[in-house]
A and B are shown apart, each in its own frame.
Chain A
Amino acid sequence: MAKDDTSIVTAGRMRTIEYAVRTDGSMPARVFLDSLHVRDRQHLMGRFQHLADGGEQVMNNQAVFKKERPPFFAFKRRSKHSPRGGEGMIRIPCFRIGNRWILTHGFWKEPQSEWAERHFAEANQIHSEVMAREQQATRKENP
């Protein structure tokens, strides 16, 4: 199925969930989600919709949505469909700008391990790119 090139994942009454768009136009979180097994992808879509509809106060389960290093939170999912076969842990880092949650990228984590530092570095890099563009847009609106 051909899909539009939208960066909006979903919009609810409380929040909008978006893929971060990098300076080169790529959307790493979208590419990652598209690579997942349909069960994992739709489970995460359900979590995004839950957050979009009810806001942070309805995210009651820290095992699936957790604060990591500021400003990042992460959606978490244990999957039976890791690329290596068997179980793996999915992580989707994200951060908030006003009513919007921006998904930076996604990765597989080994069970019982900490995030590799490169994933924080990537999230930070994407965060910087998004924030720079946001500030540029604000300056254009309020010269």
Chain B
Amino acid sequence: MTKSDLTQLTDDPTEMRIFQQERLVIEITELMCRTMKEQDIKRSQLAQLLHKTKGRISQILNGETNLTLRTVADIFSVLGKTLVVCVKDRFVQKAPLHFIPVELDTELSTATGHPYEMDDLFHDGTTNNQLAG
């Protein structure tokens, strides 16, 4: 099977390490954006609540800065949420649109109702070849 470009790139340990860093930043900042959208909170309002500039908030939400865990906690806290974390197998490329019926385990979801809670269940260590085969 031809590997996707992302799978080829992440065969390189350095690329994979940075991909994992960036993916985590994206998942957390997208959760922040989603929560803000749900609560109709603008970037300027979040800046006020956190005593930061709007520019700094944009840097954070756009994934341009190396966030500290304390800043992450502060942001969810002022949004009235808490972030629940879990550990799972490292990113494994999957075959497209493949469905594995599983029971939804609410323990895997975040307190903000992350839209990827079902996706987490697909990261079961199954390789792409196994899925495709």
Residues on A lying within 8 angstroms of B by beta carbon are 1, 3-4, 6, 8-14, 16, 19, 30, 38-39, 41-43, 45-50, 53-54, 57-61, 63-64, 77-78, 99
Contacts and interface: CB of A to CB of B under 8 A. Distances in A.
Contacts of B27: 50
Contact of A10 (B6, B21, B98): B6
B125 interface: no
Interface residues of B, number: 41
A46, A54, A63 — which one has the most chain B CB atoms within 10 A of its CB? A46
Interface of B: 2-9, 11-12, 14-15, 18-19, 21-23, 25-27, 29-30, 33-34, 37, 58, 61-64, 91, 93-98, 115-116, 119, 122
A3 B14 CA distance: 16
A4 B115 contact: no
Interface of B (DSSP majority class)? helix
Given A11-B93, A43-B26, A49-B6, A54 B116 contact: yes
19 contacts: A6-B2, A6-B5, A8-B2, A9-B6, A10-B4, A10-B7, A11-B96, A38-B14, A39-B18, A42-B15, A42-B18, A45-B19, A46-B26, A47-B26, A48-B6, A50-B27, A54-B115, A54-B116, A58-B116
